[in-house]
Amino acid sequence: MAKVTVSIDAELAVEVMVLAGVKSPQDAVEPAVRDSIARGHRTEAHGPQDHPHGGWKLSSE
């Protein structure tokens, strides 16, 4: 699997670490991204019209 390095706000990293119950940003960010993707797929199953914000759009779309 390819790895990507990103910079995020330290406060966001700490908040995700607390919510995920982990001790490193690396261990917290991947599950948060996976959760976001899963939520997006669930939203797509209902259609954008059912989402209060019309669904997420990727900038490459």
Query: What per-residue confidence (pLDDT) applies to 47?
Result: 59
Alpha helices in 1-61 (DSSP H): 10-20, 25-46
DSSP code of residue 34: H
pLDDT attached to residue 18: 93
Residue 61 has what pLDDT?
46
pLDDT at 60 over 70: no
**CA-CA-CA-CA torsion sign (52, 16, 14, 58):** negative
Q: How confident is the model at residue 30 (pLDDT cuts 50, 70, 90)?
A: confident
